[in-house]
Amino acid sequence: MASANAKANKQQQQVPDLVVLFDYNISNHLSRQDRRDKAQAVLKEYQSILNALHNAGLAAAGKLGNSKTEVMVLISCPLRKLYELVEREKYV
């Protein structure tokens, strides 16, 4: 019974608080090098977003969306971080 409760708690923790969907459609009309450059820019932007979220104390992970050109960024705010943000806003 205890393991069932632990499993249920873990599943509840994995539910994101926010999902941001990015569509990074790269045109086939671009040259091969331009498509490669665009893909590198998209990857750099994605990594920058994840780093910013992690640095802010949020949990974030990426996952492919419904198509090849979609990326979902799943964002969760740990309860302690939420309390910290609420306390900070009280005195602003």
What is the spatial distance between Cα 82 and Cα 84, in angstroms, rounded to a whole number? 5
Question: Could you tell me the residue range of the domain that residue 64 belongs to?
Answer: 19-90
- Number of structural domains found in the chain: 1
* Residue 8 maps to a domain: no
pLDDT digit string (tens) for the chain, length 92 residues? 555 555 545 545 568 888 888 887 778 888 999 988 988 998 898 899 999 999 988 899 988 888 878 888 999 988 888 888 888 888 76
* Residue 85 maps to a domain: yes
* Residue 59 maps to a domain: yes
* Residue 52 maps to a domain: yes
Rg (CA), the chain: 18
Q: pTM of the entire structure? A: 0.67
* Residue 48 maps to a domain: yes
* Residue 54 maps to a domain: yes
